[in-house]
Structure 1
Amino acid sequence: MTAPNKTRIYLSPPDIGDLERRYVQEAFDTNWIAPLGPNVDGFEAELAARVGVGHAAALISGTAALHLALRLCGVGPGDEVVVSSLTFVASAAPVVQLGARPIFIDAERASWNLDPALVAEFLETRAQEGRLPRALIVVHLYGQSADLDPLVEICARYGVALIEDAAEALGATYKGRAPGSLGKAGIFSFNGNKIITSSGGGMLVSDDADFIAHARKLATQARDPAPHYEHTELGYNYRMSNVVAGIGRGQLASLDQKVQARRANFAHYQEALGALPGLTFQPEAPWGMHSRWLTCLTIDPQTFGNDREAIRLALEAENIEARPVWKPMHLQPVFAEAEMVGGAVSEDLFERGLCLPSGSSLSAADRERIIAIVGDCARQG
């Protein structure tokens, strides 16, 4: 039972400042309330510059961005798409919605992300069989980049489009570059719990100008240039509003501070809890900076004395939100028939993994509440 008299601590709540309000007020003052407008243009340009790509299209969600990326890479009925298994369902759902089949591949332990060795082995086998997948979606999990260099090389070798799902990794780095900037296309999410939020929304990015121009057209009901409404293909109503983009612009301006705050949360958790037997934090891979969007850990119940679920329930009893690590896609009932390569690593991370409150506005006092409860679980065990 949740303690009713304790303030709720959320996993990753929005952290809003004055600049966001200013951009939104400008939208009202200039009557730019409908979709598109100066904030949309500004948000696209600023996000593209931040992640080091040539072009960006602001959309209603990261899922919409992934859907467009897949369609623009030619994914359609009967095709196959490789997807990280350890991820949120939105990484895989657009594959099925386009009539294609997802093939899930396991994680590796250095980053909890897609295992390049398994991908290489799988694509080599498929190349010999003459049935390569159309695309590969690599997810950058919880604020940490996957190992991109081998994936870029493998996909180029076999002509497989590489799409980066960087919804959770804005502000992270891979060898000095931004996740989302190395593939054919990258996608970002600004959902309410992300490291920056526009209350919703997403972004599709690419160095290919024609790719993004076509994405913008498809996202605006695929309207052809004409004085009347002319359509030679079917599109979607996916464009971001000028009001939402104003929030995003303000949030993006403080991205570095938000990353610093989340990394500081992780450092405090690690200092206070890292010596507990059986508790291990998600490592920071050697190839880049982890943004620590969420602080994640695993629990060995035999050594720690309690399992992951006991800790989660103890936190919930004190009105503190914590969540298990993503349940892998190959374990989801909706994908019961999908092909899976490997699985032991992602299954283990789900079974033992927990995400702690990690918001950039998390107070020191609230962080100490969380640390005390996790420590008590170890002592009780």
Structure 2
Amino acid sequence: MDLDLFLTEAEELLAIPSTADRPENLYRALEFVLATLGPGFTAERFESNGKPSALVYSGKTRPRFRVILNAHLDVVPATPERFRPRRDGTRLYGRGAQDMKISALIQARVFRELAASLPYPIALQLVTDEEVGGRDGTRYQLERGVRGEFVVIGEHSGLRIVAESKGLLTASVHATGRAAHSAYPWLGENALLTLMKGIDGLMAAYPPVTEEVWRTTINLARIETTNQALNQIPADATAWLDIRYPPEDSDFDGRTSDEITKHLSAHCPPGVTVTVANLDPPHKADPTTDYVAKLRRAAENQGYSAEFLRKHGAADGRFYYQHGIDAVIFGIGGDGQHGPGEYADVTTIEPYCRALTEFLGSLAFAG
């Protein structure tokens, strides 16, 4: 790999502000990466709710792939200077450097070099909606029949392997009361106070954490009321909850929205109702498969531990998990995800490229 040339190309991609509110830039980022592949491949294009994606492979007819390399090209919003990438020693700074445009470019490079010569089919899956849920990219393609045996998602991992990630559900908690003049509180019923009793019950069951733990967590994201007057008792109140749960939590994993609603409601007093808005399963891959063993060996051969990690955030692997397809996260190193100091660790770029190349090559001799 000509690292300087690669970094120049990477900086061009990082300079594209491909955020959900700029759909034209989602297309720009996608077309940029597709252009790096050159001719000779089929690029099957998809679009859902204005979010473009692509599936690239050799041949004219889409097969069941042995390996899918999955990458997202969208990023979270940032100030303009974050889209002016800069290098500082072994760090490449910019929005999307760690999460995950650099890994995406490496996956595209490895695909370009190997796809036509491998004795089995692989695909490069490029999506532009992971940061807003992944439902119009990876999930949309799966709904249209895309299948594989094993998936490598290029999210950052420092050449370690993420075989588990938490599920995600969002819920609202609502309380009703009775409006009255605040000078005569006995004539009313404060919905905010009732709501807080419900929140207290939920937080008692799932206490806030102060250090990393592998268990279900609840984030109280917002409390609101339609009341606009200081001297009025609120008649309604609503809270937003973001809940992350591991595959081992049987109160959530494998449960329906109605079952989870009942479970959460049991921690709330009368007058408080719970509504589950979105429910996405966790992700878990079998760490004992030959695919994982070969990927770990390829990373170890580059001098990395290839240890297993658990990811607290949701990722697109959960959509493969729903279809019984093993997916792991395996990407470059870096730090500052979604923050002002986000950077890619340049020293991990070439080892990551070599590890992916070795992994795919090793499968050629596995029958």
Superposition TM-score, scaled by structure 2 size: 0.21
- Structure 1 or 2, whichever has the larger Rg, is 2
| Structure with more helix by fraction | 1
